[in-house]
Structure 1
Amino acid sequence: MAIGPIASATLRTSAVLGLRLVVQAGTLLLVARLLGPHGFGAFAGVAALAVMLGTLSTFGTHIVLLAEVSREPQRRAAVLPFALSTTLICGSLLFALYLLLATTLLGEAGIGLNVLVALGLAELILQPLLNLPGAEHQGHGRIATSQLLITLPLALRLLAAGTVWLLHPADPLRAYAWGYLGASALALLIATLSLRQAWPALRDWPLPRLAELRHAAGYAVLNLTATGPTELDKTLALKLLPLAAAGVYAAGARVIGALTLPVIAMMLAAMPRLFREGQTDRTRSAHLLRLVFAAALGYSLLLAAALWIAAPLFDLLFGPRYQAIGETIRWLTLAVPGMALRIAAGGVLMALGKPWMRVGFEVGGLFLLIIGACFLTPDLHQAGMAIALAIAETGMAVAGVLLIILQQHQLHSEQPNDA
């Protein structure tokens, strides 16, 4: 039986993301066991801060590149040079901000400056630059190739973690941090070599113009708000929980986040078609949206049930130092349906050209997360953080779906006037 192009693309991308899941799981287990809950909690908190700020480094230009290449491949030559210069400038400024925030607000984590520098360079400059080749491949419909490039630094980090595990250095966190940086650098080199057209020379990278930045600004903010709910909770845990408890929570949350990858695969496969049809072929677009949300909801419910049943296995996998991680994962299953639907709703609004709608509901979710965490974690500890995440994810999912329904209804009501 023949399957549609999005279904086949989703299957190919899911296979790549399945590899990514295995790599992330291996890295998570190695690093968590290597550092212990205290060290892992500190590492996860500062790394999450770097990842959140890193979403602003491209200032949304990788999404502009994706959209333009999806519509007209020849637009690459006009968009890519400004995307490169914007990423380098913004990334450098954010790197300085990251060092300031990490040393002042998260000083209790006890992370050395050399570790912060390595993580900052990787997440604020190298990884954002790596997003550009990935966006270009995705815009051409090479979704699996795009995801392989994203998986590459993760695989190299697994290699770095394994090397540190075998060598038993006196300071494993410092050794892994520099391996983390090296993985991003090597992945960026390979990604640029994978392109059919080379990047322009550095002298041809123009300074970004105000009009171009204004066009990309919505995508820049939505990158931050989209990543915020899956990263901010680790930083909040570092501030609100004891280090060991923060480490247990962060490990459990990473498990949950990794297992939502099939939803991301589906959205990546659907994005080029949504960009093309979202505002032109409303009937086909509406049918696609129904399929996307049905698949996201069905998968998330099955995943939540499976995790609830399998939760005790994680106590064995992570070892005795991560006591109660199974119970924490059970609490985190409450967030899974909302997380999947939030990912789907955010991707749809972005493809429909409504980035500020996505920003709006995700900013609201971030406030829900912060307020919920501050009220619930003092008494409920890891469970309180998990419940706060579930409240935030569910709230964002409901708001996002309602915004899409209203948008589709508005387009439908305008259709007779367009005829």
Structure 2
Amino acid sequence: MFWQGIRMLCLAAWIIVGARVLGADNYGLFSGTVGTASALAGLVGLGGGMLMYQYAAADRSRFARYWKQCLLLCVISAGPLSLVFYLLSAGLLSWPALCLIALSEIVAFPFVTNAAFALSANDRMGWSAALPALNALLRLAAICIFSALPASADLTAYLALHLAASACSALLALLAVRCLLRPGPAKARISRSDLMHGSGHAVAWSSSVGVTTLDKSFVLHAGDSAIAGQYSAAYRIAAVFAMPLDAMIMSAMPRLFRAQRDNTQHRRLVASMILAALGYGIAASAVLGYGAHMLPHLLGSDFTAAIPGLQWMGLFVVGYSVRQIGCHTLLGRGWKLRKFLVEALGLLLMAALSALWIPAYGLQGAVWMIITAEAVMACIAWLVVSFSPAPAIASAQH
């Protein structure tokens, strides 16, 4: 929670500085293109990190082999996925800017994510949370340095600093795993079974990342860069409020994997998280509703139009948290495909609603798009959990 607090403060500061320095248009372009890159980054490593997480959480002796396999898969898969990103985003930004985003989000940042998985699998939850906090701190330093550059500096100049921050984070994350966990000698064997199971994890993880990042891309394509910038600011502020719940869910993942052997423990853990999410979400809704009028003072006059949208984003915090608990419960039971189908349906719903509502209602249509999609995904996830076999049966399926 301490490191999540540090990360929350850094992200909040980045939103304030970034929105003021970049303005609504550049902020929208940045968020929309980075959203696409982040969704593709979930496929980097072909699920090797989550496979390592699952196996090492149950048996520490398997950690070294699966860690090295994870690193090898990251190196192999990053290049092709970067090319896919360039093809999907061509025309939105210049090619040097797109290359910088690909190097930052698809090549460098997955090493931070997988190092955090490695530390979590070995019950080093504090260090696991420290790595994303460090990345947020370095990215905050990058935007602060950019704010000190001459006014003629463009978005590409910031993206170069953004890449430098991601590269430093990746290097420090790899050093943390090496120094703290000291993985022993092992051969990185990539078996067909590992690729199949890992690909399932990759698809599930990418869908999780996609539902939190591709919405900005949908808004950018269905509206314009100004609407995308205003929506991204409202979304990111709400996401900062949801971060303590993210910390709770991620810290529970090793227990969710192990709870397949203890049905009573599983029910108590999930019920406690749901109650905490509902209580916290109601409090966050009140704060966002009453505090939204401060937005232009924090981010600048470009974001005045985002006030009504931010006032409704407390509903997003509630829906997002309940959906995350449901989807991670499915993941803990080994039902990667079911989790993916829930989130894939959510992405299709986002795309459809953005095309229908944003041209007609602008920013408010974008806000109701994400609230509706999160609510629908949460309902479907919990229906799947409720009408599926008990964890003991699910473990036999895996």
* Same fold per superposition (TM over 0.5): yes
What are the ranges of 5 or more consecutive residues in structure 2 without an aligned counterpart? Answer: none
State the Cα distance separating 1:291 from its structure 2 match: 0.7
State the Cα distance separating 1:364 from its structure 2 match: 1.0
In the alignment, structure 1 residue 231 sits paired with structure 2 residue 218 = no
CA contact (8 A) 1:164 1:172 kept: no
State the Cα distance separating 1:233 from its structure 2 match: 1.2
2:387 and 2:325 map into 1 onto residues whose CA distance is 16
2:153 maps to which residue? Answer: 171
CA contact (8 A) 2:306 2:363 kept: no
State the Cα distance separating 1:413 from its structure 2 match: 10
State the Cα distance separating 1:41 from its structure 2 match: 0.8
1:314 maps to which residue? Answer: 295
1:300 maps to which residue? Answer: 281
SS of residue matched to 1:171: coil
In the alignment, structure 1 residue 16 sits paired with structure 2 residue 3 = yes
RMSD across aligned C-alpha pairs, in angstroms? Answer: 1.9
Aligned length: 392
1:246 and 1:320 map into 2 onto residues whose CA distance is 15
Find 1:362's aligned residue among 326, 339, 343: 343
CA contact (8 A) 2:65 2:188 kept: no
Find 1:266's aligned residue among 237, 245, 248: 248
1:49 and 1:335 map into 2 onto residues whose CA distance is 21
Find 1:391's aligned residue among 372, 389, 393: 372
Paired letter, 2:293: P
State the Cα distance separating 1:119 from its structure 2 match: 1.1
Find 1:57's aligned residue among 27, 44, 54: 44
Cα offsets for 1:111-151 (capped at 9, x unmatched): 22211111101111111122222111111111121111112
State the Cα distance separating 1:205 from its structure 2 match: 6.8
2:203 and 2:288 map into 1 onto residues whose CA distance is 32
1:78 maps to which residue? Answer: 65
In the alignment, structure 1 residue 291 sits paired with structure 2 residue 272 = yes
Q: Could you tell which deviates more after superposition, 128-137 or 330-339?
A: 330-339
State the Cα distance separating 1:244 from its structure 2 match: 1.4
1:136 and 1:300 map into 2 onto residues whose CA distance is 30
Q: Could you tell which deviates more after superposition, 162-171 or 192-201?
A: 192-201
Paired letter, 1:288: L
In the alignment, structure 1 residue 130 sits paired with structure 2 residue 94 = no
In the alignment, structure 1 residue 45 sits paired with structure 2 residue 39 = no
2:71 and 2:182 map into 1 onto residues whose CA distance is 13
In the alignment, structure 1 residue 157 sits paired with structure 2 residue 144 = no
Identity of aligned residues (%): 27
Q: 1:380 to 1:205 in 2, by over 3 A?
A: farther
CA contact (8 A) 2:111 2:174 kept: no
Paired letter, 2:102: G
What are the ranges of 5 or more consecutive residues in structure 1 without an aligned counterpart? Answer: 1-13
State the Cα distance separating 1:302 from its structure 2 match: 1.6
Paired letter, 1:225: S
2:133 and 2:313 map into 1 onto residues whose CA distance is 25
CA contact (8 A) 2:119 2:181 kept: no
1:334 and 1:56 map into 2 onto residues whose CA distance is 29
CA contact (8 A) 1:192 1:199 kept: no
1:6 maps to which residue? Answer: none
Q: TM-score, normalised by structure 2?
A: 0.94
CA contact (8 A) 1:50 1:119 kept: yes
1:117 and 1:191 map into 2 onto residues whose CA distance is 22
Paired letter, 2:246: I
1:406 maps to which residue? Answer: 387
1:253 maps to which residue? Answer: 235
Paired letter, 1:350: L
SS of residue matched to 2:167: helix
Find 2:82's aligned residue among 84, 95, 100: 95
State the Cα distance separating 1:98 from its structure 2 match: 0.8
CA contact (8 A) 1:34 1:172 kept: no
State the Cα distance separating 1:102 from its structure 2 match: 1.0
State the Cα distance separating 1:400 from its structure 2 match: 0.9
State the Cα distance separating 1:331 from its structure 2 match: 3.1
Cα offsets for 1:18-65 (capped at 9, x unmatched): 110110011111111111111111111111111111111122111111
CA contact (8 A) 1:127 1:188 kept: yes
State the Cα distance separating 1:412 from its structure 2 match: 8.3
Q: 1:219 to 1:361 in 2, by over 3 A?
A: same
CA contact (8 A) 1:85 1:205 kept: no
2:354 and 2:33 map into 1 onto residues whose CA distance is 18
Q: 1:61 to 1:412 in 2, by over 3 A?
A: closer
In the alignment, structure 1 residue 330 sits paired with structure 2 residue 311 = yes
1:41 and 1:86 map into 2 onto residues whose CA distance is 32
CA contact (8 A) 1:304 1:336 kept: yes
Paired letter, 1:307: L
State the Cα distance separating 1:169 from its structure 2 match: 5.2
1:178 and 1:199 map into 2 onto residues whose CA distance is 33
1:412 and 1:78 map into 2 onto residues whose CA distance is 27
2:82 and 2:184 map into 1 onto residues whose CA distance is 24
CA contact (8 A) 2:64 2:183 kept: no
2:9 and 2:187 map into 1 onto residues whose CA distance is 37
2:65 and 2:393 map into 1 onto residues whose CA distance is 34
Paired letter, 1:378: P
CA contact (8 A) 1:229 1:389 kept: no
Paired letter, 1:272: P
